[in-house]
């Protein structure tokens, strides 16, 4: 049987504290059968990059990691991946901070990954590369003679050609991606944008199966929405009812409704707009004054990118404005925290919440939306207020779908959620839960890998 080789920017080792709590490790748990190899950056920076991968085994899996040099880190990771590709692929061209030197660093690290992976490869390995940091790695492997099946999955959105071409050298990236045998996206919209970009950059039209052939190499595409282990997460949420943190939160609410937001502190997540919308709720619907608290948990991330520091300051200010305007001596409307909260604890918080605000300005999928649905008590569920610009909105149509740029509309949706009759809440939740149980982390892995393994390759 062919071995699975997963490649991602970061490898979360099971020995790292909390590393398996979320992210790719959980999503790929199903696919990583004993014997599989996980390859990527260790998260460490040294004076120079590793000249070979450090290989360890744990629980039947092999982990191969390399350190990056400080300059690789700045150019590949901070510079091009997070300063150019992340804003671009989230449609934020105004935030693009392109530097030719960073771009060259990006190509060099993708080449470095390929150089360090090649010695570890066996002829029948199936290679699955993840995400925007590694757009050119499939091509780097091909240039080193690798003939194995290569799949690539993009966790974040893909933009239409008019947006893509804002990035100098975008065509190079699209052509490099086409070196994979299978390229996967979260939504139909993302795939369509990619195929239009292929037409624009490579002058190749897709066929009826959404694949295309260029210079004798065929590239197929797949829409594979990522999901969660819905039943497992539901169990976690039920168990969390007995936790001390859950009890403390209940006590602190003194019977008030809880609205919750859980995000990485990132400008794509629409947090300033969400705070404005909450302010509008209190302004336009004063019947909710003193009756609701919004708990926003925002995990700090990418703090060495300037843009993230200014976002933090903006949120501190807005939170202060709202609480300054509306707080009472025994009521704080907005509880905003940037401390890390354990995922199991958050599961219990979701179950208590009457509303979840998942209002990104753009998001590949957004697993928080799915986690919130899985965590609910089906007999008395909370309501999901979901941005139309989250990938999850393509599936989760029974949520209250909003435009996150329209603070009044989001405020009205929150109001609708707060006054929604039980019967309607139950019906919406039941429909959503069916979907969250259908496209799970396991089905995501299964669908992608089944499709990849079915591809004929001429090795």
* 263 touches ligand ADQ by CB under 6 A: yes
Question: Which of 90, 155, 415, 429 is an active site residue?
Answer: 155
- Token pair of 180 as six digits: 């994979």
Stretch of 41-49, 56-64, 113-121, 340-348 lying at the interface with ligand ADQ (CB under 6 A): 340-348
Q: In this chain, which stretch among 110-118, 134-142, 174-182, 292-300 interacts with ligand ADQ, using CB under 6 A?
A: 292-300
Distance CA 142, CA 234 (A): 43
Q: How far apart are CA 128 and CA 117, in angstroms?
A: 12
Residue closer to ligand ADQ (CB basis): 219 or 236? 236
Q: Among residues 126 and 236, whose Cβ is nearest to ligand ADQ?
A: 236
Which residue from 88, 230, 277, 298 is in contact with ligand ADQ, where contact means CB under 6 A? 298
Is there binding between residue 364 and ligand ADQ (CB under 6 A)?
yes
**Residue 139 contacts ligand ADQ per CB under 6 A:** no
- Give the list of residues 6+ apart from residue 211 with CB closer than 8 angstroms, or none: 218, 219, 220, 221
Active site residue 363: yes
Q: Where are the alpha helices (DSSP H) in 133-204?
A: 137-143, 161-164, 170-177, 188-202
Rule CB under 6 A: say whether 363 interacts with ligand ADQ: yes
* Residues between 183 and 242 with contacts to ligand ADQ, criterion CB under 6 A: 226
**What are the CA-CA distances from residue 332 to residues 22, 115, 292, 323, 434 (Å)?**
30, 54, 9, 6, 36
Closest CA to 399 of 435, 375, 363: 435
Distances 455 to 32, 121, 138, 181, 290 between C-alpha atoms, Å: 20, 19, 16, 7, 59
Q: Does 164 sit near ligand ADQ (CB under 6 A)? A: no
Regarding 341 and contact with ligand ADQ (CB under 6 A), the answer is yes
The least distance separating ligand ADQ from the CB of residue 203, rounded to whole angstroms, comes to 31
Residue by residue, DSSP assigns 248-314 as: HHHHHHTT-EEEEEEEES-GGG-HHHHHHHHHHHHHH-GGGTTTEEEEEEEE---TTSHHHHHHHHH
Instruction: Give me the least distance between CB of 263 and ligand ADQ, in Å please.
Output: 5
Residue 105 and residue 68 in contact, taking contact as beta carbons nearer than 8 Å: no
What is the closest distance, in whole angstroms, from the C-beta atom of residue 227 to ligand ADQ in the complex?
9
x/- map, 12-31, ligand ADQ, by CB under 6 A? ----------xx--------
Number of residues that bind ligand ADQ (CB under 6 A): 21
When the beta carbons of 146 and 260 are compared against ligand ADQ, the nearer one is 260
Interface region with ligand ADQ, contact rule CB under 6 A, candidates 366-374, 397-405, 417-425, 446-454: 366-374
Catalytic-residue membership of 155: yes
Identify which of 336, 342, 407, 398 has the alpha carbon closest to the alpha carbon of residue 370: 398
Q: Which is nearer to ligand ADQ, 201 or 271 (CB)?
A: 271
Q: Strand 400-402: give its sheet, edge to edge.
A: 334-337, 292-299, 257-264, 355-358, 383-387, 400-402
Catalytic (active-site) positions: 155, 363
Provide the binding-site residues for ligand ADQ, judged by CB under 6 A. 22-23, 155-156, 226, 262-264, 297-299, 341, 343, 346, 363-368, 371
């Amino acid at each position: 049987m062919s071995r699975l080789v997963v490649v991602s920017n970061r490898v979360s080792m099971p020995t790292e504290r909390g590393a398996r709590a979320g992210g790719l490790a959980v999503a790929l748990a199903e696919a990583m059968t004993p014997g599989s190899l996980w390859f990527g950056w260790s998260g460490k920076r040294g004076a120079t990059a590793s000249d070979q991968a450090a290989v360890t085994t744990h629980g039947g899996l092999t982990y191969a990691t390399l350190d990056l040099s400080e300059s690789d880190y700045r150019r590949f990771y901070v510079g091009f991946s997070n300063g150019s590709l992340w804003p671009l692929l989230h449609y934020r061209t105004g935030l693009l901070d392109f530097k030719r030197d960073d771009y060259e660093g990006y190509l060099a690290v993708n080449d470095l990954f390929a150089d360090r992976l090649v010695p570890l490869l066996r002829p029948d390995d199936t290679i699955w590369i993840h995400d925007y940091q590694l757009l050119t790695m499939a091509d780097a492997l091909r240039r080193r003679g690798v003939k194995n099946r290569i799949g690539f999955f993009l966790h974040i959105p893909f933009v239409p050609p008019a947006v893509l071409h804002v990035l100098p050298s975008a065509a190079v990236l699209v052509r490099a991606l086409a070196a994979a045998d299978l390229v996967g996206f979260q939504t139909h919209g993302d795939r369509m944008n990619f195929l239009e970009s292929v037409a624009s950059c490579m002058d190749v039209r897709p066929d009826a199966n959404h694949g295309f052939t260029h210079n004798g190499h065929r590239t197929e595409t797949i829409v594979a929405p990522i999901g969660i282990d819905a039943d497992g997460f539901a169990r976690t949420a039920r168990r969390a009812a007995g936790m001390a943190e859950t009890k403390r939160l209940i006590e602190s609410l003194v019977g008030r409704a809880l609205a919750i937001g859980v995000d990485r502190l990132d400008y794509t997540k629409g947090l300033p707009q969400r705070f404005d919308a909450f302010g509008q709720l209190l302004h336009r619907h004063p019947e909710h004054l003193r009756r609701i608290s919004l708990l926003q948990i925002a995990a700090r991330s990418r703090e060495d990118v300037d843009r993230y520091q200014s976002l933090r300051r903006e949120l501190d200010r807005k939170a202060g404005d709202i609480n300054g305007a509306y707080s009472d001596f025994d009521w704080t409307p907005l509880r905003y925290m940037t401390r890390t909260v354990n995922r199991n604890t958050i599961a219990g918080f979701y179950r208590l919440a009457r509303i979840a605000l998942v209002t990104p300005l753009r998001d590949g999928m957004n697993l928080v939306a799915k986690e919130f649905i899985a965590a609910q008590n089906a007999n008395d569920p909370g309501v999901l207020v979901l941005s139309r610009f989250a990938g999850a909105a393509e599936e989760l149509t029974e949520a209250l779908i909003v435009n996150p740029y329209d603070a009044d509309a989001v405020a009205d949706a929150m109001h609708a959620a707060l006054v929604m009759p039980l019967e309607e809440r139950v019906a919406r939740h039941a429909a959503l839960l069916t979907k969250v149980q259908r496209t799970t982390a396991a089905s995501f892995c299964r669908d992608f890998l089944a499709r990849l393994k079915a591809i004929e390759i001429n090795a």
